A and B are shown apart, each in its own frame.
Chain A
Amino acid sequence: MAPKLPPQPPLQHNTTAVADGQSHGHAAPPKGILRWLLTTNHKEIGSLYLIFSLTMFFIGGIFALVVRAELFQPGLQLVEPEFFNQMTTMHGLIMVFAAVMPAFTGLANWMIPLQIGAPDMALPRLNNFSFWLLPVSFTLLLSTLLMPGGGPNFGWTFYAPLSTNFAPPSTTFFILALHIAGISSILGAINIIATILNMRAPGMRLMDMPLFVWTWLITAFLLIAVMPVLAGVITMMLMDINFGTSFFDAAGGGDPVLFQHLFWFFGHPEVYIMILPAFGIVSAIIPTFARKPLFGYASMVYATAAIALLSFLVWAHHMFIVGLPLVAELFFMYSTMLIAVPTGVKVFNWVTTLFRGSISFESPMLFALAFVVLFTIGGFSGLMLAIAPADFQYHDTYFVVAHFHYVLVPGAIFAIMAGVYYWLPKWTGHYPNEKLAQWHFWFSIIGVNLTFFPMHFAGLAGMPRRIPDYALQFADFNLLSSIGAFFFGASQLLFVLGVILCVRGGKKAPAKAWEGAEDLEWTVPSPAPLHTFETPPVFHRTSH
């Protein structure tokens, strides 16, 4: 990554991008559905990703509500354990692979070219292909619920041999669906790296890029590194199920624990894939509404890189109770505890950015601030989980469920919502209805805490995760969680309403929609026209 670039003039990319099926003067795009099927425009593809993600967020959410409804009180009332397991599994898979990841890719599609002054993504046709793989993949995945024997019922971590020798016949389709989603992610990541490294505005060096771009660059490398590992492990499952191999079957000389090593070597970087871009979004929003530059830009970049690096060294902390040798337990305990350091650096940076700022509380800022607090709480429980001896008690309980929902819901998802409220004026040309957004925020924050905070107690008191029915002493916590979950779920309808209203109209937004916003996207008109930066902007170094 040559530091002393004069970056290549992006003009040539510009022409290739535009030449895709369109003449130079932007001939009218095809009408109707074909326009969306064939589009190579980063803004349209970004919107497709976001709409897809929002749809899947609701589907995954309904699955979660089925789970919470069954757990509302002790006993089996609504669903059979078999279907309950399918719901927990599908909820996890859909939320991880079809809601959170595509949402970040959608934001990347929309914002990375705008933030680095590029006319489009580097590989527009590939971009179209990566998106359209997703509906294929997840239609296939969801269709397994209707197949004889039901859909995947072995948890989103699909541990062998429950997911191989003991799995329903539809598992082969589940594997295929995950392969397709994985290809989509890898192609998307390649595109993002190519865009960031080649198409920055003249004068913009790597260390001048907005943090959202930086975090996505690092995330994209993580994706390319670990998605093939996932592909490998599910292919081994496929072989075990259909072709008589015994990778994970001890009876044939295989090792069920090998599955977990491979899965978590993918899985731990995967959880950072879902949080690093969130760091980038929050690092854009907090300085904007504190009207003060980010305290430590460089240390934020370094901390992100350090977290990404460490993510390859900690996978077995998910496996403290599978019977690892003592040395391995210690190694993974130490390396996991170390992650607290760069993560702490990030939180301290955000807080110091607020210090002596000039702070206003518009909806993007509210979500970003809630992110900082609640993500940190999730970080605290993460630190507790890192203590290997204590993990013997925490492991596979609701304490873990509380932990990862704190980092994913008020973590990743709040950051996505913050980003949406932040950039909606740029996308639509209108401010979102602030009053509605505030209601959405306060309902969400009450719902999220009511749902997930009691889970800490349920877990510590001894409630294992993934059970359809529970002992009577856990009843109160579950009652609260279920009420909270329905409240949270219902309040997300306000989000949809807010977005729809904003698309249809509202207060007109100027090019620079927020007073303190600095990055390049705020130099193009609102709404951003279909084609932007056809001649590269001249980048003026600000105060990073």
Chain B
Amino acid sequence: MRSRWWLMAVSLAASGSQAQTNGWNMPVGVTDVSSDIYGLHMTIFWICVVIGLVVFGAMFYSLFRYRHSKGAKAAHFHEHTSVEVLWTAIPILILVGMAVPATATLKNMYDSSDAELDVMITGQQWRWRYEYLGEDVAFTSNMSTPRTQISGEETRGEHYLLEVDEPLVLPINRKVRFLMTSDDVIHSWWVPDLAVKQDTIPGFINENWVKINEPGIYRGQCAELCGIDHGFMPVVVRAVEEEEFDSWLAERKEAAEQEAMGVDREWAMDELVERGESVYQSICSSCHQAEGQGSPPAFPALANNEQLINDVDWHLDKVVNGVSGAAMPAFRSTLNPVEIAAVVTYTRNAWGNDTGDVVQPSAVAELIAQ
């Protein structure tokens, strides 16, 4: 064991500041908090190494020096109060020394005041929804790694399982407050480089914050077991310069307004099907599968589903209000009327479901308003 500790100590010392990228230690990260945490981590680690060297050193020395086979005669001493006081007192002092900086870091982590931007993060089985509060910009972020890579039919890409269709975009150098909750089970939003890991709990709102120092793309994952696709729920944050963020946000805002206006107009079937297909692939296909075949019994097939084909109101109701007691969530507040109308139209006209039905966004908006 001793040699293992040495090996680790030496190689750690050798790697030094490259720890951020070497892939086997905690990342230093790109925020002040994350480098504080890294500092605490390395301090406590080296304390453990030193204690380990002393204790295991004494142990292996004794094992070697006092071997029965070499004729060692056992002494018969036991109990020595001052030694015992010493080995109680020294650990206490070390712990106090460790607790002081840890307390300071923790207090800093808990201070989410004076944030310049609020982002609501909602965990859903199995995607993240981001909402820029007060900006009318919201979207969901799904894993974009194709299932064919998971099954091995296709070569796995560089960011296998850690890539999404729409990353969370954040500005650097601004304090961003996260408000975190969940629509179903407990998830945990984690990006190692930002040192933010916080449970998202249904019915409760947790707070955390981040102030990123460097632009870049930072990847993480859901850290709390949340069901079948827990392993396929990545987080990607794209941190950009302030100006770039401002223009990105303005652009998204405009697009959102346009979409909101689109509710009132009459949509053509082609438009809806095209839009619906992209919604389906990002939201629905993780359970109901790419070709609508589902995976019964938990996730019913949509293709050739008699009940679905025969009853458009029932179909719409399930998408808007969910199925209680089953995995199907209500999408009334997470998708907008255009998206719901599009995806319902798409599923009613794909994979041999040739109903020819067109559901208009205005009808969906009416249903939600009821």
Contacts and interface: CB of A to CB of B under 8 A. Distances in A.
Interface stretch (B72-80, B166-174, B361-369): B72-80
Contact of A323 (B192, B204, B226, B325): B204
Contact of B72 (A333, A359, A392): A359
B59 A356 contact: no
A360 B69 contact: yes
A389 B102 contact: yes
B59 A354 contact: yes
A166 B72 contact: no
27 contacts: A75-B150, A76-B152, A82-B228, A85-B230, A295-B77, A323-B201, A333-B102, A340-B91, A344-B87, A344-B88, A345-B84, A358-B66, A359-B66, A359-B68, A374-B1, A388-B106, A389-B33, A390-B37, A392-B196, A393-B41, A396-B188, A460-B24, A462-B220, A464-B221, A467-B221, A472-B160, A473-B23
Interface stretch (A249-257, A505-513, A521-529): A249-257
A161 B327 CA distance: 12
Contact of B41 (A295, A322, A347, A384): A384
A542 to B, nearest CB: 11
Contacts of A460: 24-26
A361 to B, nearest CB: 8
Interface string A288-312: 0011111111110000000000000
Contacts of B10: none
A238 interface: no
Given A296-B78, A326-B106, A383 B227 contact: no
B265 interface: no
Nearest to B51: A380
Interface string A463-503: 01111111111000100000000000000000000000000
A384 B199 contact: no
A393 B37 contact: yes
Nearest to A88: B225
Contact of B203 (A74, A256, A322, A377): A256
Contacts of A291: 68, 74
B195 A376 contact: no
Contacts of B66: 290, 354-359
B224 interface: yes
Nearest to A161: B185
A439 interface: no
Chain B contact surface mostly = mixed
Of B33, B78, B159, the most chain A CB neighbours within 10 A belong to B78
A299 B228 CA distance: 48
B212 interface: no
B36 interface: yes
Interface residues of A, number: 95
A409 interface: no
Contacts of B255: none
B228 A85 contact: yes
Contacts of A153: 227-228
A114 to B, nearest CB: 24
B25 A457 contact: yes
Contacts of A149: 297-298
A242 interface: no
A181 to B, nearest CB: 22
Interface in A103-162: 148-149, 153-155, 159, 161-162
**Size bin of chain B's contact surface:** 35 or more
Contacts of A298: 79
B151 A461 contact: no
Interface in B229-268: 229-232
A208 interface: no
B201 A322 contact: yes
B294 interface: no
Given A74-B156, A359-B67, A293 B76 contact: yes
A380 B48 contact: yes
A372 B2 CA distance: 13
Contacts of B69: 360
B14 interface: no
Contacts of A373: 1, 56, 59
Contact of A292 (B1, B27, B76, B225): B76
A504 B9 CA distance: 48
Interface of B: 1, 4, 23-27, 33, 36-37, 40-41, 44-45, 48, 51-52, 55-56, 58-59, 62-63, 66-69, 72-80, 83-84, 87-88, 91-92, 95, 98-99, 102-103, 105-107, 109-110, 125, 149-152, 156, 158-162, 184-186, 188, 190, 192, 195-199, 201-204, 206-207, 220-232, 297-298, 325, 327
B62 A351 contact: yes
Contact of B74 (A257, A292, A299, A344): A292
A338 interface: yes
A369 B63 contact: yes
A323 B206 contact: yes
A81 B228 contact: yes
A148 B25 CA distance: 42
B67 A293 contact: no
Given A257-B204, A354-B59, A393-B41, 8 more contacts: A292-B78, A326-B107, A341-B95, A358-B66, A373-B56, A384-B48, A392-B37, A460-B24
Contacts of B151: 75-76
B223 to A, nearest CB: 4
Contact of A330 (B92, B106, B225): B106
Contact of A462 (B27, B125, B160, B185): B27
B322 to A, nearest CB: 12
Given A75-B152, A85-B225, A376-B55, A159 B109 contact: no
Given A76-B150, A341-B92, A372-B59, A334 B223 contact: no
A461 B23 contact: yes
Contacts of A85: 225, 227-228, 230
A390 B41 contact: yes
A543 interface: yes
Contacts of A543: 76, 78
A245 B224 CA distance: 25
A338 B95 contact: yes
Nearest to A516: B74
B160 A250 contact: no
Contact of A148 (B92, B99, B196, B297): B297
Given A75-B156, A462-B192, A389 B44 contact: no
B199 A322 contact: yes
B36 A81 contact: no
